[in-house]
Amino acid sequence: MRYFLAGVALFALIVVSVAGFRGGLSRKPPIEIFPDMDRQAKLRPQTGEGFFADGLSSRTPVPGTIARGQPHLEIPLNTGREPGTTNFVEVNPMPITAELLARGRERFTINCAPCHGGQGDGKGVTSKLGMAVVGNLQDPRIVQQTDGEIFTTITGGKNLMQGYGPNLPIADRWAIVAYVRALQLSRLASLDEVPAELRASLNQKP
Amino acid sequence: MSDIFPKWTNRLPALVLAGVAVMGTAGVAGAWYYFTPKYTRVGYQPIQPVNFSHNIHVDQVGLDCRYCHNGVEKSWYSNIPSSTLCMNCHSQVLKDDPRLALVAESATTGKPIPWVQVHKVPDYVYFNHSVHVNRGISCVHCHGQINQMDEVRHAQPLSMTFCLECHRDPAQKIRGLEHVFDLNWQAPSPTAQIDEGQRLVEEWNVQKLDNCSTCHR
């Protein structure tokens, strides 16, 4: 019996030393103990293996086609330009509401603030990391741009900035345009434009 | 009459029973400890083709999860960003760094970077990211503190028990939408979490979905 117990203990020791403890670092993919139907013969997004020669399970649209539900009309909302011309639309085609501005603020903070800074002055965190040229959205040059031009810049990029069209839906891009306008106004407004009852609050520290 | 069986064999049935009991206990303990995602999945930390650090990008630089995983609020899966998105910054930041050569090449040629998927539920589990992040379940609940990881590590078991613990009592995890992508956020106290969770469960009409077809179809 003594030998038997010693044998069991030795076996347990071997198992623990080979298999380790829960949560230990492992470089190998997890073992699937009962692998029934765990991995099925179907394509999942962004998985490499499988059907297509180039290894892309998430396909790009066939050139010259537009997927269902994707914007296709040549209207200012989609293009930022007057129909039939290359002129930018003057004014944001979305109704400007508090919700739109809140959405714009959120999306600006996620997508734009890393470079352009929370106030749009071009002093985002990347300027400390080697990003040489970042546009200052408070610059009169940009303040004077039409809404459509800013929308087009977000969509397609400009100079060293790449386009955010693929990352941001159209409505979000217009929301950001509206919020950029609010940011600009925050620096350009005069004291007379602030309602009298709120003026005192301007000198308070938040 | 001489003994056919030596005397010690009288103890044999008891010894066999004891042996079976010891081995049975050891077997059950081993299966309990090892045959679970707490062992098989937790700690998985594959070597990635590009040594991308979430810690640097999220905690140090301060990027929001959604800068890169921009589909997570609308889609059932949380997308890996295209390598062109990396180049938004890395066309200038660490421009010629050899660690980013693969990303730059991928962005130019369109050849995908062979990232190794870390979190992988079985194919018969239909998990939807958007419905969770839009109803107050944070990334941190299932992925752990990704924001502190240099290499992504499988932090939670993602077993069925793990899902059901929360599905049976959502109030213990649900948080306000402003905290979903803030992985360092914690409720001020456990009771505050329950109070706030219960308030949100009522406000959003979050149901205790624990029938099979919630996740398996």
- The answer to whether residue B126 is domain-embedded is yes
Give tens-digit pLDDT for A147-170.
999 999 999 998 889 999 989 999
- Asked if the Cβ–Cβ distance from A126 to B87 is below 8 Å, we say no
Are residues B26 and B73 both part of a single domain? no
Are residues B20 and B67 both part of a single domain? no
pLDDT, residue A197, reads 84
- The answer to whether residue B69 is domain-embedded is yes
Give tens-digit pLDDT for B73-122.
999 999 999 999 999 999 989 988 999 999 999 999 988 899 999 999 99
Strand, helix or coil for residue A162 = strand
CB pairs under 8 A between A and B: 114
Closest Cα in chain A, distance from residue B93 (Å): 5
CA A131 – CA A36 distance, rounded (Å): 50
Give tens-digit pLDDT for A94-147.
999 999 999 999 999 999 999 999 999 999 999 888 888 888 999 999 999 999
- The answer to whether residue B209 is domain-embedded is yes
Residues of A in contact with B39 (CB under 8 A): 19, 22-23
- Asked if the Cβ–Cβ distance from A126 to B44 is below 8 Å, we say no
Are residues B160 and B71 both part of a single domain? yes
pLDDT, residue A199, reads 82
pLDDT, residue A13, reads 92
CA A62 – CA A156 distance, rounded (Å): 20
Q: Is the pTM of this model over 0.95?
A: no
Q: Which residue segment(s) compose the domain that B24 sits in?
A: 10-39
pLDDT, residue A10, reads 93
Q: Is the pLDDT of residue A185 over 80?
A: yes
Partner A contacted by B10 (CB < 8 A):
no
Q: Where are the domains of chain A?
A: 90-187
Kindly tell me the sign of the dihedral angle through the C-alpha atoms of A20, A25, A26, A29. positive
Over residues B168-196, mean pLDDT: 94
- Asked if the Cβ–Cβ distance from B62 to A132 is below 8 Å, we say no
Q: Is the pLDDT of residue A182 over 90?
A: yes
CA B181 – CA B170 distance, rounded (Å): 18
pLDDT, residue A171, reads 94
Mean pLDDT of chain A: 89
Strand, helix or coil for residue A157 = strand
Residues of B in contact with A40 (CB under 8 A): 123-124
Closest-CA residue of B relative to A9 is B26
CA B146 – CA A30 distance, rounded (Å): 19
Mean pLDDT of chain B: 93
Are residues B28 and B126 both part of a single domain? no
Nearest-by-Cβ selection for A111 from B22, B39, B67:
B67
Nearest-by-Cβ selection for B42 from A22, A56, A110:
A22
Give the list of residues 6+ apart from residue B111 with CB closer than 8 angstroms, or none. Answer: A54, B105
Q: How confident is the model at residue A55 (pLDDT cuts 50, 70, 90)?
A: confident
Are residues B208 and B156 both part of a single domain? yes
- The answer to whether residue B178 is domain-embedded is yes
**Encoded tokens for A188:** 């350009």
Over residues B12-25, mean pLDDT: 91
Nearest-by-Cβ selection for A46 from B35, B79, B124:
B79
- Asked if the Cβ–Cβ distance from B123 to A38 is below 8 Å, we say yes
- Asked if the Cβ–Cβ distance from A48 to B112 is below 8 Å, we say yes
Partner A contacted by B85 (CB < 8 A):
yes
- Looking at residue A109, the DSSP 8-state letter turns out to be H
Closest Cα in chain A, distance from residue B169 (Å): 25
Contact in structure between B152 and B50 (CB atoms under 8 Å): no
Are residues B69 and B15 both part of a single domain? no
Number of domains in chain B: 2
pLDDT, residue A155, reads 94
pLDDT, residue B172, reads 94
pLDDT, residue B1, reads 57
- The answer to whether residue B103 is domain-embedded is no
Are residues B210 and B148 both part of a single domain? yes
Strand, helix or coil for residue B44 = strand
Residues of B in contact with A48 (CB under 8 A): 112, 114
**Topology of A90-187 in CATH?**
Cytochrome Bc1 Complex; Chain D, domain 2 (1.10.760)
User: What is the Cα A8 distance to its own chain's centre?
Assistant: 56
Contact in structure between A33 and A23 (CB atoms under 8 Å): no
Partner A contacted by B87 (CB < 8 A):
yes
CA A175 – CA A204 distance, rounded (Å): 29
pLDDT, residue A57, reads 86
- Asked if the Cβ–Cβ distance from B15 to A132 is below 8 Å, we say no
CA A121 – CA A126 distance, rounded (Å): 13
Partner A contacted by B144 (CB < 8 A):
no
**Largest Cα span, chain B:** 99
CA B213 – CA B217 distance, rounded (Å): 6
CB atoms within 10 A of CB A1: 11
Closest Cα in chain A, distance from residue B38 (Å): 6
Q: How confident is the model at residue A206 (pLDDT cuts 50, 70, 90)?
A: low
Rounded to the nearest 10 degrees, the angle between the axes of helix A147-156 and helix A170-188 is: 130
Residue A88 corresponds to which amino acid? F
pLDDT, residue A142, reads 93
Q: How confident is the model at residue A71 (pLDDT cuts 50, 70, 90)?
A: confident
- The answer to whether residue B99 is domain-embedded is no
Over residues B53-79, mean pLDDT: 94
> Where on the phi/psi map is residue B43: left (φ > 0), alpha (ψ -120 to 50), or beta?
left
